[in-house]
Amino acid sequence: MSSVSATSVKDVITHHIESRRSGYIQTSHSIHERPEIGNKEFYAQDLLTSHLISEGFKVEKGVAGHETSFYAVKSSNKPGPTIAFLAEYDALPGIGHACGHNIIGTASIAAANSVASVLDEIGGKVVVLGTPAEEGGPNGSAKGSFVKHGYLEDIDAAMMIHPSYQSGRTTTSLAVDPLDFEFIGKPAHAASSPQDGINALDGVLQLFNGINALRQHVQDDVRIHGIITHGGDAPNIVPEYAKARFYIRAASRTVLNEVTEKVRAIAEGAALATGASLNVIAFQNEVDNLIPTPLFDDVFEEAFNSLGGEFSGDGRNGIGSTDAGNISHVVPTIHPYIQIGPKELVLHTDAFREAAKSKKGDLGLIIGAKSLALTAMTLYTNPEMLKQIQQEFKEIRE
């Protein structure tokens, strides 16, 4: 590590990002200007991977069952840990980058590139997981696919940052089961021969009524919310097909599994009551609750503070879900928040979309990337700290 020690690890890392600052900001803005929904992020995929390839990463696209995903790796000839940076880059339907994924993806590749620049000195391996469709949708929540396909098996720790209304530590999130409920009945003329029909829409309505009754008997952290995506074709035809889409959430996977089984039983009862047949379809990956590893966040907070940042809270309003939770069940994971706007800023709004390409958003991108890189550098150069983080993670998981 002689050449790194001759200057300063911090200076090397921060200078690498700073010297490419305008390029990273332009990348973030370009992704912002061309929003792509989940599993359609071809432009963002190409733009982000081009940065990695230029820094010597080996990049494989279309992994883990997602055409717009990527797996990027750069190795040294020396032993050491393998640290993964998580890149998100999908936009929200209709509202664009109102969750700031243009910042998330760019910050992760900037951090990875800076670490890779000194990898031959410090040893180990750096990985970037390009994970599409964090916002869900068909075949959504790609981090779950990365776990299922074994891409986390040799990873020692994983990290990312998320823009927010304030800077703060990793927080818990809700596990989610995303399910479609299809009811299949039998058409008939609704006026002249209703007795010959089986009303699939009645099955959906019974499902909603049953779920509404269930809400009285679940824990406070449980959330069940859904819509009717198809309710029939005409009022004078008994609906032969109807479908509802639900997100079922809870603070832990264990509780969620129990609640989901109850919802499935309600759906089966609705089908039995109406005479319709039922299909229950998981339209995207299930999402697990995010498990913080506090010691890991301590390392990030120290890096963030050294760059002039300051945590002012937990970084979010309310509690939602993220497929980073799936990663956090497998390896120690951090998902801290970086402020990009005023305290009134709310995710998934027009205001947040505009903040994601603002001067403050650009600043959040750069300080976030530097903080991630410095956090990773601590894990590479301080084996005892990494060991302690992994031990804490093990104890929390147990």
86 with 206, same domain: the answer is no
Q: Percent of the chain beyond pLDDT 90?
A: 94
Helices assigned H by DSSP within the chain: 2-6, 9-18, 21-33, 42-54, 101-116, 119-122, 142-148, 200-214, 253-274, 294-306, 324-328, 350-355, 359-381, 383-397
Last residue of a domain, one of 230, 254, 282: 282
pLDDT at 390 over 80: yes
How many domains in the chain?
Answer: 2
Would you give the end-to-end CA distance of the chain in angstroms? 36
pLDDT value for 8: 80
115 with 194, same domain: the answer is no
168 with 310, same domain: the answer is yes
pLDDT band for 312, please (50, 70, 90 cuts): confident
For the stretch 237-291, pLDDT in tens is: 999 999 999 999 999 999 999 999 999 999 999 999 999 999 999 999 999 999 9
pLDDT value for 319: 83
pLDDT value for 5: 53
Query: Tell me, what CATH number does 218's domain have?
Result: 3.30.70.360
| Tokens matching residue 26 | 């332009």
pLDDT at 3 over 70: no
pTM of the shown model: 0.93
pLDDT band for 165, please (50, 70, 90 cuts): very high
pLDDT at 1 over 50: no
> What is the domain extent for residue 210?
175-282
Query: Tell me, what CATH number does 393's domain have?
Result: 3.40.630.10
pLDDT value for 7: 52
Q: Encode 178-204: b = buried (16+ Cβ within 10 Å), e = exposed.
A: bbbbbbbbebbebeeeeeebbbbbbbb
**What would the mean pLDDT of 96-110 be, rounded to a whole number?**
98
CA distances to 287, 298, 327 from 397, in Å:
17, 18, 13
For the stretch 212-229, pLDDT in tens is: 999 999 999 999 999 999
